[in-house]
Structures are given as structure tokens and as C-alpha cells.
Amino acid sequence: MAEEERVSSPLDQAVAFVDELYHFRDHFVDRFGLDRAGDKETEVQKMMGECLTKVESLQGDIKNKAQYHLLRGRILNVTSKYSQEAEEALTKAVKLDPRLVEAWNHLGECYWKKEDVSAAKNCFTGALGHSKNKVSLRNLSMVLRQLSGPPVEKVKLIEESVERAKEAVQLDITDGRSWLILGNAYLCEFFSSGQIPKVLKQCMQAYSQAEKDPVARGNPDLHFNRAMTYKYQEDYQKALDGFSIASQLDPSWMEAKVKETELLNYLLDIQKMIELKGKMKPRKIESLLSSLSDRDLGPHAGGQYTNKTGNVVSLSQCKLAELQPKVNYGKVVVGKVVCSINSTDLVPFAFCLIDADKMCVAVTVYNLAQGAGMKIGDSVAIPEPVMKKVKVSHKGTEISFSSIQVDSPRCLVVNGRKLGINKEALTVLSVSAVSE
């Protein structure tokens, strides 16, 4: 009987109402399917109103006023938009009971939505002062990456962000939201610390773990950020699929739709320019190719190349048609630039290269300093080229072409001269962090 009374107390009833609201929000797509994802915000707001009415009707019966204001604040904080009422309720809760970790966490999320990053950080740090918990840790990880500062300080903040996210995961390895934020932290670390392949691998592993959780799987940020990573890796099929899922999960999020459209148009443009050989007239192509010589190989003309690990390797010149879809060790190709590819993104710089046999391929160059791109008519030699066969099938559009991916411009020889360090600039990737 005592147990029955405890379960059915006004406070427990209110907690059950609010927990049900959050479960409805977090499992909406899992429950109703991707086709109804566009209804989520409206349905959550409707249920929010109903829940608020229920909890407010119990106000006189809930003796713990700090808990009451926490519950009311949680209800008002359930949507992705900032609520001043939620902030006021949660502020009352922490004033009445400064040890309420959950209230501090929700108040921090309120400030985050308000774009008051400093106040959000104070809330999550304060909560951790009372109790080590996964929500404060992962939210602090998210906030640390948004703090401004000089480059050296930013790197330290990102490293700390990774550590806080790791701690959150260790407290509950089944929570996909913690894995998602760890993935985002690794992604930022990858682009701030010299693009170490191992870090990118850790990022993708974290995203894979996040996807196992239906709550994280229904978060458009997971699919968007992973799509940005796939795009950087030139896995264009998965990138397009990811942008598409992100926009389906949040139809109001225009950036996901824009990125999907831009990427598809970019790939179509590359395919077209390869087929038309940069729209260059045959006579002009003949003239360009007639000037190709061993001098265009520059320091590689002697058949040697110092790779990025510092090892000297032997090179033999080959034709574009002879390249395999992999790293072509010990090979070097040379050709002429017939066009550059227009893109809304500065990364990568893309152009079409044609060789003496008139085969044309795309070349994508990463970490190239702004304004240092190759021009039409330039000769370009690429040692140990990484050839990719791009094949995409997306919403009725079929795309197929060959591409060479170049991670650093410093390995290129342009017009007989090897590019220097002044032509290199580390890529910065935009990571969504609005609602992680």
C-alpha cells in the first residue's frame, strides 16, 4: 500500500507526464516513420501544451517547489526553440535547490538555444560540480567547441571537448547522443590537428555507434555531419543519402536541402565538363597537348619522388587510362588543365586534366590556399595518384566519372615546378552544432 501511494503521488504523476512527453519527442521518427518526420515539431508542441496543463493542475499538490519549476521548465524546453518561460522556470528551480543537476542541464540547454555560449558553459560546469553525469559532459563538449579564441587556444578547447565527450560515453556506452557528440568532437579535432586519418576513423566509428540508438538516429545532425564527412572522403553516394535523410528528418532545415542540391549539381557539372573536355575546341586541345614534354614532370622527370613519409620512391610515367581505382604506387601522370569546376564550396579545388591520349579526368585538390588554384593551360604532374571511380544514383539521376584525389598541393608539379608550403592551407569543415 505504501508503495502504491509513493508511485501515485502528485510529484510522481507529474514526472511521468514529462517523461512521456520526452519519450514521444525522442522516439517520434522511430514510432511514426520518416514520412511523418515533418509533423514532429507540431505534434510535440501540441503534446507540450497538454502536458503543461496536466502538471500545472498539480501545482498545489506538489510540495517540492524546486521540482515543480524543474518539471515546468523541462516541458517548456522540449522543442528546439528558445523559450524565455523555460529559462525563468529553470532559474527558479536552481535558486530554490542549487543541487538540482537536471535543472542546471536544462538551463544550460536554454542558454545554448539563446546562443549565450558562456552562460551555457557555466551551467554545465556547475552541474558537474555537484555530480558527474553524461548530459553535462556531452553538453560541455559541445559548448567548448563553440568558444572563441586564438588558434592555439581553439585546438586546446577541441581536445578538451573530445575528452569530455569520451567521459560521457564511458558513463553510458548505449547512449547514442553521447556517441554523436563524440563523433562531432573527433571531426573538429581531425580538421584542427593536421588531419590525422586515425582521428577521422574514430569519428566515423562514433557515428556508427550513435546510429544504433533510435534517439540519435532520429537526429538530423547525425546524418548531416556524417554526410559532410562522406563528401570530404568523396563517398558521394553516402553524402547525398545523408543530406537527404537530414532534410527529411527536419524539413524546415534548408541547409541540408541546399547541400544536397549543390552536391548533385556539382557532380553533374564535373561529369559534363569531363565529357566535353572542358568545352575546349579540338584545335585548342591539340595545341595544348603538343607542348607537353618531360620538363612538365619537373623534379619527377628523373624517375624519383619523395613521398609524404619522407621516403624516396621510384616513379614511372603512365597514361590516365592505365590508372587503377586505388593508390597507384610508383606511377606519375601528367596532363593539361582544360577547365576548373565551379563550386559553392572552396574545398576542394577541382579541375579537369587531359593527357596526351586525350583522356580527361577530374582532379580534386584539398588544403589548397585560396587563390592558388590551377589555370587553364597549366601542365600538372601528379605522383602516385589516387584514382576513384565515382558512381552515383540519386533520385533518378545517374552520374559516373573518374577522379583523382589529391590530399595536399605540395605533391603537385605545376608547369615544371613543385608547389611549395605557401600553396597549402588546412581545410576547415563546417559542423552543425545547433541542436546536437
Cβ contact 382:412 at 8 Å: yes
Q: Tell me the residue length of the chain.
A: 436
**Is the confidence at residue 385, as pLDDT, over 70?**
yes
Encode pLDDT of 126-185 as tens digits. 999 999 999 999 999 999 999 988 888 998 999 999 999 999 999 999 999 999 999 999
**β partners of residue 37:** none
Instruction: Quote the mean pLDDT of the chain.
Output: 92
The pLDDT value given to residue 319: 96
**Is the confidence at residue 244, as pLDDT, over 80?**
yes
Q: Which domains does the chain have, with CATH numbers?
A: 2-267 (1.25.40.10), 278-423 (2.40.50.550)
The H-assigned helical ranges of 77-150 are 84-96, 101-113, 117-130, 134-144
User: How far apart are alpha carbons 28 and 279 in whole angstroms?
Assistant: 50
**Is the confidence at residue 16, as pLDDT, over 90?**
yes
Of 399, 425, 421, residue with least CA distance to 412 = 421
Cβ contact 242:227 at 8 Å: yes
Q: Which residue carries 560521457 as its cell?
A: 168
Q: What is the mean pLDDT of residues 47-75?
A: 96
Helix (H, G, I), strand (E, B) or coil at 45: helix
User: How far apart are alpha carbons 385 and 400 in whole angstroms?
Assistant: 19
User: How far apart are alpha carbons 149 and 165 in whole angstroms?
Assistant: 21
Q: What is the mean pLDDT of residues 395-413?
A: 94
**Is the confidence at residue 414, as pLDDT, over 90?**
yes
Of 402, 321, 370, 347, residue with least CA distance to 233 = 347
Per-residue confidence band for 358, with pLDDT thresholds at 50, 70 and 90: very high
> pTM above 0.85?
yes
Give how far Cα 349 sits from Cα of 128, 341, 360, 389, Å. Answer: 44, 8, 17, 18
| Alpha-carbon Rg for the chain in angstroms | 27
The pLDDT value given to residue 5: 46
The pLDDT value given to residue 433: 43
**β partners of residue 380:** 335, 414
Residues 6+ apart with CB under 8 A from 403: 234, 270, 361, 362, 363, 364, 387, 388, 389, 390
The pLDDT > 90 percentage for the chain reads: 80
The C-alpha cell that represents 22 in the structure block: 520526452
How big, in percent rounded to 5, are the helix, strand and coil portions of the chain?
Answer: 60, 15, 30
The pLDDT value given to residue 108: 97
**Least confident piece of the model among 28-32, 185-189, 313-317:** 313-317
**Is the confidence at residue 264, as pLDDT, over 50?**
yes
**Is the confidence at residue 10, as pLDDT, over 70?**
yes
The pLDDT value given to residue 354: 97
Encode pLDDT of 344-357 as tens digits. 876 789 999 999 99
Q: What is the DSSP string of 349-365?
A: EEEEEE-TT--EEEEEE
Q: What is the mean pLDDT of residues 414-421?
A: 89
Give how far Cα 157 sits from Cα of 149, 160, 162, Å. Answer: 9, 5, 9
**Is the confidence at residue 1, as pLDDT, over 80?**
no
The pLDDT value given to residue 279: 94
Encode pLDDT of 170-229 as tens digits. 999 999 999 999 999 999 998 887 778 899 999 999 999 999 999 999 999 999 999 999
Per-residue confidence band for 372, with pLDDT thresholds at 50, 70 and 90: confident
The pLDDT value given to residue 432: 52
**Least confident piece of the model among 54-58, 78-82, 308-312, 365-369:** 308-312
Of 152, 64, 143, 147, residue with least CA distance to 100 = 64
User: How far apart are alpha carbons 235 and 78 in whole angstroms?
Assistant: 35
Cβ contact 113:81 at 8 Å: yes
The pLDDT value given to residue 4: 47
The pLDDT value given to residue 367: 86
